[in-house]
Amino acid sequence: MEIKLTPIATVKNSRKQPVDDYWEAIISEIELAENIPIEAFNSISGFSHLEIIYYFDKVKSDYIVYKGHPRENPNYPLVGIFGQRKKNRPNRIGLCTVELLEHNGRTLVVRNLDAIDGTPVLDIKPVFKEFQPFGRIRQPDWVKDLMKNYWK
């Protein structure tokens, strides 16, 4: 089965290359595609956070992996692609929860989006508290080290 998706928006920001760390200072604009009516953003300002689903369009198909060391660092364990958040995923889909700073017409201004300039956005969903995890979140110890500079 083949699934075809059409971007609904595009990311605009100062980050031109995929770099793994220091995303905190990056403020992004998400600009709605011309074929999407502006009404699609009605009531979005009532939410503090959004989930952005985007497409890693710069990842070439021959760079897709199914296992590896996170960030190619042999100090981290060898894990499957679904045990990490690497961009070289089979369907090249990214997901990030962002803070909504502003809504101006066809543009959303957000913080904490780890997508580079020009990235196609596939969907936007508001964060509902009721969809957040219940209970304690568990993760391997290596993740804390991997993420230490990500949002700085």
Evaluate if residue 113 carries a pLDDT over 90. Answer: yes
In the chain the first and final C-alpha atoms are separated, in Å, by: 40
Rounded-to-5 percentages of helix, strand, coil across the chain: 15, 30, 55
Cα gap 24→111, rounded to integer Å = 7
Q: What is the pLDDT of residues 49-74, one digit of tens each?
A: 999 999 999 999 999 999 999 999 99
What is the homologous superfamily of the domain 9-146 according to CATH?
YaeB-like (2.40.30.70)
| pLDDT confidence of residue 19 | 86
Nearest one of 117, 93, 104, 148 to 27, comparing CA atoms: 117
